[in-house]
Chain A
Amino acid sequence: MHDVDRLFRAYNEMLVRYLTRRLGDRDWAEEVAQETFVRALRQETMTNERAWLFTVANNLVRDEARKDSRRRRHLTMLFEEEKERVVEPEETTIERAQDAAMARAAVDGLAERDRLALLMKEEGLDYSEIASALGMSVGSIGTTLSRARRRLVEQYERLQQEQQRREGNAAS
């Protein structure tokens, strides 16, 4: 049995950020993260906690999360504590919202495996952890990430250009 409090404090922030970036909805991300920690309670052994948590979170997003109301209540309490601790983010401006929408469109345009590898890398997972979570060989992660980064940036640039063209048309 794992110390779920320790796991939560160590990995919740990065897991929620990863899931938020993946799903585009913070509430949903927090719920999936909760369920991931509930699963961690049941897990006897983990060779790599971080890779395990990300693997389970990925599976939960694909499948449906199961209910575990008693443990969920405890985790909900921890989440509330965390929310009190975390400083509220700045208000979203129109420009930031536009950037976020373009970023979301660019990320959604990636192949799923590329997207997940990239999001996990951004959370600090190393190649072996990413390979473990995605069931890939370590040797292929560099290629996957290079493709993902290139496509993401190119797609984002294309969207930016479209936006600028639209603004130019609107101005004229």
Chain B
Amino acid sequence: MQHLDEGTIHAWLDGELPPAEMAAAEAHVGTCDECRAAVAEARGFVAGASRILLALDAVPGGVLPASTPSSIAKTRAPRRFTLSRTWMAAAAVLVLSTVTVIAIRPKRESVVSTVAVSDELKEERADARSAASAGASAPVVAKAPAPSEKAANAPAPVRAKAPSAQAADAMVAQAQAPAPASPRARLEDTAASQRARLNGVVITGAGTISPAEKLGVAIASADAPKDAPPNAEPIRVRGLTSMSSVKRPVITLSNGVVATLATRATSAENGEPVEISLYQVDEVYVAFIDRLKPDTTRHTITEPLVSAIEDQSDKRDAKMNIVEWTDSKGRMRTLRGRVSLDLLSQLKAALDRATP
């Protein structure tokens, strides 16, 4: 059989080939390295294009260009002026904090308070060090260190019951860090390693867009493992270059097995938003499909990230296991990968605890 052309490969990935052609294409790809590489590349293009098009959805109204057909433009209904709950809450907080500051602020105290914050954090660090040296082993959960944006503006004291020395160092470093130059820099400035322990599940990672935050975990642990493995190389998906800068959380399962987040993307399944995360478990990729809306009907997953787990040629002999469940909010979740059902169940439990 001749090599598959690009159009046929895309038709195959889209499930649009007739059954006979599909079988022939599958058989050919199974024996042809060149076509297998072309299929992998095409999957990247499919995923990348979907990701790029999703970015178009953050589009406001009322940006109609001057070349708009006139009759359409004339019939436009007046735009409603509404305030979202987020903005109303932000406005309320701003007004309250302004009033409070004006009412209670003593004159010329701002510099002193900044120093006080740093000193307080240093004290906490010293406390943490002494606690660690005393062999404190009970896992304690502290609040997340304030993101750099807060830190740059003389952060509120971060109250931790007994943060680790590392976490305290990170807090002090953040409190003393100069303001980043740009919003992007601020987002990427959270360099300190963050660790969390929730019900025996350890999640580590350092955040740019903070997957740890997305997982809804608290940060810091007194006895997080020191031998957390280095982050796995992320699966490269064209058009997702920014994903490579995302630090990945690690979930520790039983017997020292770890699941490392390799990459994550938002996609759509029959028009409904789904978040797809690939975890590396013992060098095998496991897909976690999290449907973001409750009561969403399951459809065939066409997201190429999920198909990527099929491309692990050296793991093809292992059985593909699937665990599917509905979380407490009615969202259907799926885990699939060529690992044991026991590992999948552990991962399920960990994910449920981390994102209840």
Contacts and interface: CB of A to CB of B under 8 A. Distances in A.
Interface residues of B, number: 54
Contacts of B86: 91
A20 B181 contact: no
Interface string B22-59: 00000000000000000000101110111011011111
A95 B187 contact: yes
A13 B271 contact: yes
A25 B62 contact: yes
Contact of A31 (B5, B72, B182, B271): B72
A88 B84 CA distance: 8
B56 A156 contact: no
A95 B42 CA distance: 27
A37 interface: no
A40 interface: no
A118 B53 contact: yes
A67 interface: yes
B77 interface: yes
B206 to A, nearest CB: 18
B75 A20 contact: no
Nearest to B45: A149
A66 B71 contact: yes
A126 B16 CA distance: 8
Size band of the A side of the interface?
A: 35 or more
Contacts of A153: 44-45, 48-49, 52, 238-239
A24 B64 CA distance: 8
A157 B75 contact: no
A27 B11 contact: no
B327 interface: no
29 contacts: A24-B65, A25-B59, A25-B61, A25-B63, A27-B61, A64-B69, A64-B70, A66-B71, A95-B187, A96-B58, A100-B55, A100-B58, A103-B55, A119-B53, A121-B14, A127-B14, A141-B11, A141-B16, A142-B10, A145-B7, A145-B10, A146-B45, A147-B6, A149-B10, A149-B46, A150-B45, A152-B49, A152-B52, A171-B181
Given A27-B61, A104-B56, 13 more contacts: A20-B59, A25-B62, A32-B72, A64-B70, A88-B85, A94-B183, A99-B58, A103-B55, A147-B6, A149-B46, A152-B239, A153-B52, A160-B241
Interface of B: 5-11, 14, 16, 42, 44-46, 48-50, 52-53, 55-65, 68-72, 75-77, 79, 84-87, 181-184, 187, 238-239, 241-242, 268, 270-271
